[in-house]
């Protein structure tokens, strides 16, 4: 393993102290004089035509400064899949029709939040209710109501993948099974509800502070929906309290804040409350997965036929990407010589599902992993051994996707089995106790350019100064995952500086270099990290030139940036401080500041991802056989994220993944009555708390990803997948109940074990 001085160390997070002290400013904390407060009027019905909206009473309420309906807007549709404009199906405010309970119909800005809230009650909307559909089967049935005129089938996107010959594969298999899995919607439940604050200057340019994962996407889509030029809109991402995929699109309140600021000349702020977040917020896709797999007697996978229906809710949102990726996740992790996938994204009259940590992997891998466990049992093979037999390894080709470069999957399986005492515990646990395994593979950022950006996927600008400091500017967005710290570490490592020598400006579309597609798909460390290294190396070229000239170095000398110096690697006395070297370059360039731009765009890497992360996780649980309650007693994880840039940060990602995985497996679900979400607060939406967290141990498998910055790749998002299948297998081990429709509630366990007893 390569030796680093800052990368790989437990460097404290750059945001830790501000967050611990409460001094970190989130969007809602920003106060501008004269700010108006906005609220959104939402549809109370699941499907209907808007016959009339009367805002006159609301406008007359003292303190109300602006009321918007679609009639006051340019009525331009938007969506993240700009490459395929027909998928852009959403208006900022409903035009003619509402499609789910919570759909945005109108907005009010007033001198305070209470007045805005009161004004909402004074807006009179006349609806003609239409029949609505709340599940995929009804939505694609004959004669089902059409949710979007352009899409009479209600199937908005489909994706097909096919290679090998699945029928031949099944014919050659000794063991074939088919299962159907169903998945519930869950909430991102980020701690910071969405918030946006817009200000307009005298030239009509807009600055928008917003809680977002994707400042560049918001900038572009805000420009197109407002009919403005992109450069006239500046998006600033302040501290963000989590996103998990739920904050990566243009949202109504961002649009309304900007347009209302333009109309009133005053700053306008919207902050959602938790109830709105639960009622109308994006969520993880409910899915129906039918999976048929064929194995040889010895456990070798031969064939897989996968059909997935995504319940997309009323709009596409990031559903097309989830549909696309489900097909890839279905064929990752193991070697599937014959594979067929059909994914369909289906509209229903429910709040739109969208990207959420894992982007289709938690569902698709749950199905893969549970079937792997069933097959292992029925073929009489240990679940660990059947995985080792089929595990992808470096050099494996996934047809039409990629060749896997670094891969520590088998090592992860072996390490986690070892550390958990798997082989002993599988045999010796008491009744009611169980141990189970789940694995994952995940992408390190996406390659498919659905947003159709003309800029590099990530960019960085590095400025260096004669006082020995550097300034890193990048649009990469830290939403709590720690990219600010990681990118600073990478730059400090590359330039031989300390963390405190680097000033950081991020995620401001007017100040940081174009472009960056944002924080999603575990792309930031790899892509922005590579952009930072690219810029730093250009700086180093110039510094090396100065040192070489100053000491008249033979051209065969290596030169390095280390410990605040620029020096010949073999002769440290042939060198000078970093600042002096910068000064020399500046002198040589007649005062010109030393600045370099770097970028990264994956090329020649197929259509999916430049690198894959891997890992395996084991859960040990105990089931109370009378109450059905599951207690997770221990979690062990071994994973391969390439070079670990910041161990503590990676462990934080792991802890967060386990917390989300526990919820997905055992307790979280959006409880719906038709189109109405009933779980509207944390009392009824059962997210695990700190007190539910099991002890956890982790091993980082040592690999080096050639495409990644200093060998690093994805971590944290892939980890969202293995927890549920690991717990599910442990529950089966403990009780004999095999769950194919998450979450594993106490009631399901009791019903299953009671049936078995009878």
Partner 1 sequence: MRLPRFEYFAPKTLEASLELLGQKGDGAFVMAGGTDMMVKMSHGRLKPRTIINLKEIPELHYIKFNPQNGLEIGSTALLSEVLNHADIIEHYPALIQAVQTMANIEVRNMATLAGNLCNAAPSADSAPPLMVMDAEVSLVSSRAKRKVKLMDFFLGPGATVKNVDEIMTAITLPAPRPQTGASYMRISARCGVDIAAAGVGVAIRLESEVLAEARIVLGAVAPVPLRAVKAEAALVGRQFDPETVQYAAQMASEEASPISDVRATRDYRKSMVAVLAKRAISEAYERSHARHS
Contact 696, 654 (CB under 8 A): yes
Pick between residue 393 and residue 678 the one whose CB is nearest to partner 1: 678
**Residue 745 within binding range of partner 1, rule CB under 8 A:** yes
Pick between residue 118 and residue 172 the one whose CB is nearest to partner 1: 118
CA nearest to 464, candidates 456, 472, 474: 472
Pick between residue 238 and residue 628 the one whose CB is nearest to partner 1: 628
Query: Among residue numbers 264 through 323, which ones bind partner 1 (CB under 8 A)?
Result: 273, 275
Pick between residue 272 and residue 472 the one whose CB is nearest to partner 1: 272
Pick between residue 57 and residue 605 the one whose CB is nearest to partner 1: 57
Pick between residue 556 and residue 690 the one whose CB is nearest to partner 1: 690
* Tokens of residue 66, six digits: 């602006």
Pick between residue 499 and residue 671 the one whose CB is nearest to partner 1: 671
Cβ 678 to partner 1 shortest distance, Å: 5
Contact 187, 203 (CB under 8 A): no
**Residue 678 within binding range of partner 1, rule CB under 8 A:** yes
Pick between residue 273 and residue 560 the one whose CB is nearest to partner 1: 273
- Dist. CA 635–CA 693, nearest whole Å: 10
**Residue 758 within binding range of partner 1, rule CB under 8 A:** no
Q: Which residues contact 274 (CB under 8 A, 6 or more apart)?
A: 193, 680, 681, 682
DSSP string, 281-293: S-BPPPEEEEEEE
Pick between residue 182 and residue 274 the one whose CB is nearest to partner 1: 274
Residue the block writes with tokens 């405190």 = 500
* Tokens of residue 214, six digits: 């994707």
DSSP string, 9-76: S-PPPTTHHHHHHT-PPBGGG---TT-EEEEEEE-SSSSEEEEEEE-HHHHHSTTEEEEEEGGGS---
Cβ 671 to partner 1 shortest distance, Å: 5
Pick between residue 148 and residue 274 the one whose CB is nearest to partner 1: 274
Residue the block writes with tokens 């390894």 = 393
Among 626, 755, 757, 758, binds partner 1 (CB under 8 A): 626
Main-chain phi, psi angles of 705, to 5 degrees: -90, 115
**Residue 438 within binding range of partner 1, rule CB under 8 A:** no
- Dist. CA 269–CA 261, nearest whole Å: 9
Binding mask 479-518 for partner 1 (x = CB under 8 A): ----------------------------------------
Length of the chain: 758
- Dist. CA 95–CA 536, nearest whole Å: 49
Q: Are strands 559-562 and 155-163 parallel, antiparallel or unpaired?
A: unpaired
Pick between residue 246 and residue 628 the one whose CB is nearest to partner 1: 628
Cβ 674 to partner 1 shortest distance, Å: 14
**Residue 756 within binding range of partner 1, rule CB under 8 A:** no
Collapsed DSSP state (helix, strand, coil) of residue 344: strand
Query: Among residue numbers 679 through 698, which ones bind partner 1 (CB under 8 A)?
Result: 679, 683-684, 686-692
Cβ 666 to partner 1 shortest distance, Å: 8
- Dist. CA 338–CA 437, nearest whole Å: 25
**Residue 667 within binding range of partner 1, rule CB under 8 A:** yes
Helix (H), strand (E), coil (C) string for 217-277: HHHHHHHHHHCCCHHHEEEECCECCCCCCCCCCCCHHHHHHHHHHHHHCCCEEEECCHHHH
- For 207, counting Cβ atoms within 10 Å of its Cβ (0-12 exposed, 13-18 middle, 19+ buried), the class is buried
**Residue 179 within binding range of partner 1, rule CB under 8 A:** no
Cβ 63 to partner 1 shortest distance, Å: 13
Cβ 280 to partner 1 shortest distance, Å: 15
**Residue 631 within binding range of partner 1, rule CB under 8 A:** yes
- Dist. CA 88–CA 107, nearest whole Å: 22
Query: Among residue numbers 105 through 134, which ones bind partner 1 (CB under 8 A)?
Result: 113-114, 117-118
Candidate ranges 417-425, 553-561, 678-686, 717-725; the one touching partner 1 (CB under 8 A): 678-686
Residue the block writes with tokens 């509402």 = 98
Cβ 752 to partner 1 shortest distance, Å: 13
**Residue 746 within binding range of partner 1, rule CB under 8 A:** yes
Pick between residue 114 and residue 167 the one whose CB is nearest to partner 1: 114
**Residue 10 within binding range of partner 1, rule CB under 8 A:** no
Cβ 624 to partner 1 shortest distance, Å: 9
Return the CA Rg of the chain: 27
Cβ 423 to partner 1 shortest distance, Å: 29
Provide the 10 A C-beta neighbour count for residue 377. Answer: 16
**Residue 178 within binding range of partner 1, rule CB under 8 A:** no
Cβ 19 to partner 1 shortest distance, Å: 18
Candidate ranges 191-199, 202-210, 402-410, 743-751; the one touching partner 1 (CB under 8 A): 743-751
Candidate ranges 64-72, 140-148, 625-633, 645-653; the one touching partner 1 (CB under 8 A): 625-633
Beta strands in 70-135 (DSSP E): 97-98, 104-110, 124-129
Pick between residue 243 and residue 351 the one whose CB is nearest to partner 1: 351
Cβ 631 to partner 1 shortest distance, Å: 7
Cβ 108 to partner 1 shortest distance, Å: 13
Pick between residue 638 and residue 672 the one whose CB is nearest to partner 1: 672
Return the axis-axis angle of helices 723-735 and 746-757, rounded to nearest 10°.
30
Cβ 155 to partner 1 shortest distance, Å: 31
Among 59, 379, 607, 671, binds partner 1 (CB under 8 A): 671
Pick between residue 115 and residue 316 the one whose CB is nearest to partner 1: 115
Q: How far is CA 709 from CA 279, 411, 637, in A?
A: 40, 22, 24
Cβ 622 to partner 1 shortest distance, Å: 12
- Dist. CA 600–CA 253, nearest whole Å: 32
Pick between residue 558 and residue 747 the one whose CB is nearest to partner 1: 747
Q: Which long-range contacts (CB under 8 A, 24 or more apart) does 649-655 make?
A: 649/13, 649/482, 649/485, 649/486, 650/700, 650/715, 650/716, 651/698, 652/482, 653/481, 653/482, 653/715, 653/716, 653/719, 654/696, 654/698, 654/715, 654/716, 654/719, 655/693, 655/696
Among 10, 96, 174, 747, binds partner 1 (CB under 8 A): 747
Query: Among residue numbers 182 through 241, which ones bind partner 1 (CB under 8 A)?
Result: none
Cβ 129 to partner 1 shortest distance, Å: 25
Number of residues that bind partner 1 (CB under 8 A): 27
Q: Which residues bind partner 1 (CB under 8 A)?
A: 113-114, 117-118, 273, 275, 626-627, 629, 631, 667, 671, 678-679, 683-684, 686-692, 745-747, 750
């Amino acid at each position: 393993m390569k030796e680093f001085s800052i990368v790989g160390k437990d460097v404290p997070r750059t945001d830790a102290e501000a967050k611990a002290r409460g001094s970190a400013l989130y969007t809602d904390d920003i106060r501008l004089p004269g700010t108006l407060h906005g609220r959104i009027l939402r549809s109370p019905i699941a499907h209907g035509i808007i016959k009339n909206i009367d805002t006159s009473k609301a406008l007359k309420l003292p303190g109300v400064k602006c009321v918007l309906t679609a009639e006051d807007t340019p009525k331009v549709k938007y969506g993240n899949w700009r490459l395929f404009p027909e998928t852009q199906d959403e208006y900022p405010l409903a035009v003619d029709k509402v499609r789910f309970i919570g759909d945005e119909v109108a907005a009010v800005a007033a001198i305070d939040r209470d007045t805005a809230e009161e004004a909402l009650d004074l807006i009179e909307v006349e609806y003609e209710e239409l029949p609505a559909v709340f599940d995929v089967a009804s939505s694609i049935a004959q004669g089902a109501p059409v949710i979007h005129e352009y899409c009479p089938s209600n199937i908005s996107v489909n994706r097909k993948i096919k290679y090998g010959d699945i029928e031949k594969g099944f014919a050659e298999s000794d063991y074939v099974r088919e299962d159907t899995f169903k998945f519930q919607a869950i909430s991102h439940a980020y701690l910071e509800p969405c918030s946006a604050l817009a200000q307009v200057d005298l030239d009509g340019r807009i600055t928008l502070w917003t809680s977002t994962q994707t400042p560049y996407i918001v900038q572009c889509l805000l420009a197109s929906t407002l009919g403005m030029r992109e450069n006239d809109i500046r998006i600033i991402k302040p501290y963000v309290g989590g996103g998990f995929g739920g904050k990566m699109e243009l949202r109504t309140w961002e649009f309304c804040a900007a347009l209302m600021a333009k109309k009133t000349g005053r700053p306008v702020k919207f902050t959602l409350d938790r109830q709105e977040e639960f009622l109308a917020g994006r969520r993880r896709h409910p899915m129906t997965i039918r999976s048929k797999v064929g194995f040889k007697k010895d456990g070798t996978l031969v064939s897989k036929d996968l059909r997935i229906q995504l319940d997309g809710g009323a709009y596409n949102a990031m559903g097309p990407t989830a549909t696309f990726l489900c097909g890839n996740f279905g064929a990752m992790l193991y070697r599937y010589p014959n594979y067929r996938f059909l994914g369909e994204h289906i509209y229903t009259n429910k709040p739109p599902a969208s990207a959420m940590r894992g982007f289709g992997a938690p569902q698709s891998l749950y199905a893969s992993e549970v079937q792997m466990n069933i097959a292992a049992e029925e073929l009489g093979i240990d679940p660990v051994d059947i995985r080792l037999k089929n595990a992808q390894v470096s050099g494996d080709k996934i047809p039409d996707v990629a060749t896997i470069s670094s891969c520590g999957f088998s090592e992860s399986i072996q390490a986690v089995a070892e550390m958990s005492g798997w082989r002993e515990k599988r045999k010796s646990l008491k009744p009611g106790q169980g141990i189970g395994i789940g694995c994952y593979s995940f992408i390190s950022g996406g390659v498919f350019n659905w947003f159709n950006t003309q800029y590099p996927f990530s960019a960085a600008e590095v400025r260096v100064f004669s006082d020995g400091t550097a300034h890193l500017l990048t649009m990469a967005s830290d939403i709590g995952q720690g990219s600010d710290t990681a990118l600073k570490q990478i730059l400090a490592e590359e330039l031989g500086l300390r963390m405190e020598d680097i000033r950081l400006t991020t995620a401001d579309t007017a100040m940081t270099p174009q472009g960056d597609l944002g924080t999603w798909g575990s792309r930031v460390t790899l892509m922005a990290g590579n952009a930072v290294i690219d810029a730093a190396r250009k700086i180093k070229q110039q510094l090396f030139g100065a040192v070489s000239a100053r000491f008249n170095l033979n051209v065969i000398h290596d030169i390095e940036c280390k410990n605040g110096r620029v020096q010949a690697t073999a002769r440290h006395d042939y060198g000078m401080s970093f600042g002096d070297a910068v000064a020399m370059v500046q002198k040589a360039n007649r005062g010109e500041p030393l600045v370099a731009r770097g970028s990264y765009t994956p090329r020649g890497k197929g259509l999916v991802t430049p690198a894959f992360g891997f890992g395996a996780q084991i859960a040990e649980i105990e089931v109370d056989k009378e109450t059905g309650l599951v207690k997770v007693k221990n979690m062990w994880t071994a994973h391969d994220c390439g070079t670990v840039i910041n161990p503590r940060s990676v462990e934080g990602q792991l802890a967060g993944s386990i917390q989300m995985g526990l919820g997905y497996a055992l307790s979280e679900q959006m409880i719906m009555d038709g189109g109405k979400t009933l779980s509207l607060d944390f009392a009824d939406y059962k997210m695990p708390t700190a007190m539910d967290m099991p002890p956890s141990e982790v091993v980082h498998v040592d690999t080096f990803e050639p495409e990644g910055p200093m060998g690093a790749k994805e971590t944290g998002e892939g980890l969202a997948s293995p927890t549920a299948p690991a717990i599910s297998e442990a529950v089966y081990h403990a009780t004999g109940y095999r769950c194919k429709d998450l979450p594993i509630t106490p009631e399901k366990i009791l019903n299953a074990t009671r049936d078995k007893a009878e």
